[in-house]
Amino acid sequence: MPDGIWVAHCVDLSLAAQGDSYGEVRRKLHDQVVDYCKYVNSIDDAEFRRQLMRRPAPLGTRAFYWVALLGHHLGMRVKPSAPVPPKSWIEKSLPQSC
């Protein structure tokens, strides 16, 4: 897979990671999900834990995911609708960890 700016989303927990390769964003997102689940598991309040585990990404992000998944199964490639912003902008905009 080509290198460049990669962004990965966990649409079920509204987490995101950014990196220079597919492998990097996959590792970063995996680490975020693991850390987030450990944090949620450490909370004593069961109702609050349930709330934290039910926080999907915004509708637009989820819709893009489902369109991309459908396009993939149909053999199509989904491209971003806007130009990719400079890497420095992305690094400042996305959280690095939970």
What confidence score (pLDDT) does residue 50 get? Answer: 92
Number of domains in the chain: 1
Q: What is the DSSP annotation of the chain? A: ---S-EEEEETTTTEEEEESSHHHHHHHHHHHHHHHHHHHHT-S-HHHHHHHH--PPPHHHHHHHHHHHHHHHTT-----SSPPPPHHHHHHHS-S--
Which of 50, 69, 89, 51 has the alpha carbon at shortest distance from 9?
69
Q: Could you tell me if residue 95 is inside a domain?
A: no
Q: What is the pLDDT of residues 13-28, one digit of tens each?
A: 999 999 999 899 999 9
Q: Could you tell me if residue 98 is inside a domain?
A: no
10-residue stretch averages of pLDDT, the chain, 98 residues long: 76 92 94 95 95 88 84 73 48 44
pTM: 0.65
Domain with 11 in it: 6-90
What confidence score (pLDDT) does residue 16 get? Answer: 92
